[in-house]
Amino acid sequence: MPAGRTRVLYLTYDGIMEPLGQSQVLPYLQRLAHDHTITLVSYEKPEDWEDKTARQTVEAEVRKAGIEWVPLRYHRHPTSLATSYDLAVGLIVTMYLALRRRIQLVHVRSYVPAVLALALKKTLKTRFIFDMRAFFADQRVECGAWRRDSLLYRAAKWFERRFLTSADVVVSLTHAGVSAMREFDYLRDNPPRFEVITTCTDLELFHPADAGSCQRNESERPFTLGFVGSLGPSYMFDLVIDCFKILREHRPDARFLIINQQMHAHIRNQLEAAGVPQDCVEIKAQGYHGVAQEIRKMDAGMFFLKPFPSFRAVAPTKLGEFLASGVPCLSNAGIGDLEEILEGGSVGVILRRHDRQGQEDAVGRLLELAANPETRQRCVDTARRYFSLEAAVQAYNRLYRSLTGCTEPEPSRGGA
């Protein structure tokens, strides 16, 4: 094996055929595979797997990158039994792969596959990177899925403690998340090695529209507000609608472009109930590459998350995608490092008061930012500073080598 190539087993409970896997798993691994030997285990949802064309495309991409992909089936119901079954299958498969491929390092995305990494570390002494993404158990409680006194929550918190105390490195998406973990009683005297590597964006894919196409005559081109992603229980979409209605008071021609995979009827019902004219709204389902094209049509982006305590560890994927595309954003306080990024870089607005006056002030400031010709470049510069995929890959490269003692490899055989 060439010098410097770490043998890595990467585990994710998200499928790489779904949008999250396409944006936050595969782009990293394709680049890391230039210098490391990657075996990827993912849990694919049946509806994604049945799309033969998409499956063949992903298979071709991982094969071209030199990644060994071992897809497992994701099971939904009943929740706890389905997850237990998935873990049992995963343990058999990953134990076999770790032995057969002589794996040195297990890199896991989020909590469920971390159970497998913990077992491998205890039995085979592999190194363990816990890429925690967010405070999973507390999010489930705060979003109403679990009760704080439930067995599921207590079990998840028991495992969380083992992950944090056993991992060789804990990767957090935010500095706020690290600060929160340093306050855990059991970590105060002996904290793990923390690294902050935020949700990242492919800056080659997400970029502003050509200068010529973005120059607009205010009287001819409507202002386009954008929303991208899901409408789960943690999102405050009703607040987005309220702000859009205020925006239309300033810009009666304003349009609302919504990129969402599956909830179109629900979205239209909410908009209709709020009195938003249907002819000013466009709702689309797009794949990963299509999202980049749609964001380039937007003048500003907007999203609000409920400011749960656990969301200090959250870094919304859409933020980097908006900023990389030159699009300023309106969001709310209490979410990860958003305040520092948006207002520190003058690339967005933080909504601090949810009453009518607070919304009017925030929307007015957003319109001012969108009209400023310097904002677009500041957004791109901020995306490069905080959300560069290449910088994240370099950080993971350093982690891999520091944990396994691998030397720096010969110059890479191919660019990213």
pLDDT at residue 3 in the model? 56
pLDDT at residue 220 in the model? 64
Domain at 211-386, CATH from 3.40.50.2300, 3.40.50.2000, 3.40.640.10, 3.40.50.300: 3.40.50.2000
CA distances from 250 to 158, 254, 298, 328 (A): 51, 9, 17, 17
| Residue (of 167, 204, 171) closest to 325 by Cα position | 204
Q: How confident is the model at residue 1 (pLDDT cuts 50, 70, 90)?
A: very low
Over residues 142-155, the mean pLDDT reads 94
Cis amide prior to 78 (ω within 30 degrees): yes
Place of tokens 């590459």: 289
For residues 373 and 364, what is the distance between their CA atoms, to the nearest angstrom? 16
User: Who's near 195: CB < 8 A, 6+ residues apart?
Assistant: 169, 170, 171, 172, 395, 399
For 185, what's the count of Cα atoms within 13 Å in the CB-facing half-sphere?
0
Contact 24, 52 (CB under 8 A): no
Give the tens place of pLDDT for each residue, 241-278. Answer: 999 999 999 999 999 999 998 899 999 999 999 999 99
Interior/surface letters 276-290, b for 16+ CB within 10 angstroms, e for the rest: beeebbebeebebee
For residues 200 and 335, what is the distance between their CA atoms, to the nearest angstrom? 16
Whether 416 has a pLDDT exceeding 70, the answer reads no
Give the tens place of pLDDT for each residue, 283-340. Answer: 999 988 899 999 999 999 999 999 999 999 999 999 999 999 999 999 999 999 999 9
Using left for φ > 0, alpha for ψ between -120 and 50, and beta otherwise, residue 66 falls in left
Interior/surface letters 1-20, b for 16+ CB within 10 angstroms, e for the rest: eeebbbbbbbbbbbbbbbbb
CATH 3.40.50.2000 domain position(s) in the chain = 7-200+389-404, 211-386
By residue count, the chain amounts to 416
Amino acid identity, position 310:
S
Interior/surface letters 52-73, b for 16+ CB within 10 angstroms, e for the rest: eeeeeebeebbeebebebebbe
Using left for φ > 0, alpha for ψ between -120 and 50, and beta otherwise, residue 382 falls in alpha
Report the Cα 304 to chain-centroid distance in Å: 15
Which tokens belong to 256?
């609302």
Give the tens place of pLDDT for each residue, 357-378. Answer: 999 999 999 999 999 999 999 9
Q: How confident is the model at residue 19 (pLDDT cuts 50, 70, 90)?
A: confident
Give the tens place of pLDDT for each residue, 380-410. Answer: 999 999 999 999 999 999 999 999 987 554 4
CATH number corresponding to 7-200+389-404: 3.40.50.2000
Contact 317, 288 (CB under 8 A): no
| Residue (of 347, 322, 285) closest to 208 by Cα position | 322
For 195, what's the count of Cα atoms within 13 Å in the CB-facing half-sphere?
19
Amino acid identity, position 171:
V
Q: Is the pTM of this model over 0.85?
A: yes
Between 80-94, 114-128, 398-412, the lowest mean confidence (pLDDT) is in 398-412
